[in-house]
């Protein structure tokens, strides 16, 4: 079997059997296509460890980030392990392939006062009753209130909102469902949008169950949601930000406010507590910065 044929079969396995997200499948399939481009579309059994090391070295020389190299390594290790398990190979050439050590970078976080200013400004613009302004205010409020991923936000339907309990039901990575709370300001923004904004926007299209819709009445996509956040948040925060910055900010502010790590993990939908722990480092950085600025003997 040729390497490209096996790679296509593996991508179908990830999508149809393991049910990984479309973004993950695209990333892994892209990594394997890159492998084929570098070492050639040779017979699967002819690929050895040196071919894989050559591929990673090529990626390193062209400037791929360490996180990208680590993901590429994980992709080919998973691919060749699958090929061995499904009897497409007798020997796994990726067993001794070592991923480069990933650097740990802290996520961008907006300060709590900056977020207050952003949301106050969005609420003020929504008071005029413009449907887009009402939608934008509700979108930013919900992203920040519930620390949602942008894919979760865009996949949410109106029926997923429980307005009485102030919760939203979302489907996260691995098709895992969770229910996340939101606060009174987000509830106020959502109520205003549902009462006076969404109906106007949906009326311009053919009808949809989506909670957030675009100017033509169709479900809002991730790219459009990113543009909304960038337009609403970036001028006040002072840096270019997207939906994930609101997720990072919400998690950090929850911990700053005394929430325990396990609760934040459940709210974010992280499978591992270790993934959530990066936000404790963010909080520690903020504490250290405040100490250095304010303490007379810092």
Mind telling me the catalytic residues?
149, 173, 244, 247, 270, 279
Q: Shortest CA distance to 229 belongs to which of 209, 216, 248?
A: 248
Contact 10, 84 (CB under 8 A): no
The two tokens of residue 2 are 């040729």
SS3 63: coil
- DSSP per-residue string spanning 141-168: HHHHHHT--HHHHHT-BGGGEETTTTEE
The two tokens of residue 122 are 């969005």
CA distance 25 to 76: 13
Unique residue bearing structure tokens 């890159």 = 34
Q: Shortest CA distance to 259 belongs to which of 279, 285, 274?
A: 279
């Amino acid at each position: 079997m040729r390497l490209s044929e096996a790679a296509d079969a593996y991508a179908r396995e990830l999508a149809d059997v393991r049910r990984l997200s479309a973004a993950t499948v695209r990333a892994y399939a892209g990594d394997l296509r890159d492998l084929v481009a570098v070492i050639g579309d040779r017979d699967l059994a002819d690929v050895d460890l040196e071919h894989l090391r050559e591929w990673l070295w090529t990626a390193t020389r062209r400037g791929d980030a360490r996180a990208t190299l680590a993901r590429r390594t994980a992709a080919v290790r998973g691919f060749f392990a699958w090929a061995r398990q499904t009897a497409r190979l007798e020997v796994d050439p990726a067993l001794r392939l070592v991923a480069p050590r990933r650097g740990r970078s802290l996520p961008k976080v907006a300060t709590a006062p900056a977020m207050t200013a952003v949301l106050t400004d969005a609420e003020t613009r929504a008071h005029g009753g413009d449907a887009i302004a009402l939608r934008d205010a509700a979108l930013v409020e919900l992203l920040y209130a519930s620390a949602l991923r942008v894919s979760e936000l865009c996949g949410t339907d109106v029926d997923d909102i429980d307005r009485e309990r102030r919760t939203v039901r979302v489907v996260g990575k691995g098709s895992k469902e969770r229910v996340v709370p939101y606060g009174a300001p987000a509830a106020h923004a959502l109520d205003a949008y549902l009462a006076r904004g969404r109906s106007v926007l949906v009326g311009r299209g053919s009808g949809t169950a989506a909670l957030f819709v675009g100017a033509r009445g169709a479900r809002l996509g991730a790219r459009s949601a990113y543009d909304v956040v960038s337009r609403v948040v970036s001028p006040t925060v002072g840096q270019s930000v997207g939906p994930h910055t609101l997720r990072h900010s919400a998690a950090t502010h929850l911990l700053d406010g005394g929430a325990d790590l396990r609760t934040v993990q459940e709210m974010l939908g992280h499978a591992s507590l270790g993934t959530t722990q990066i936000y404790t480092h963010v909080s520690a950085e903020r504490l250290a910065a405040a100490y250095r600025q304010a303490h007379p003997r810092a």
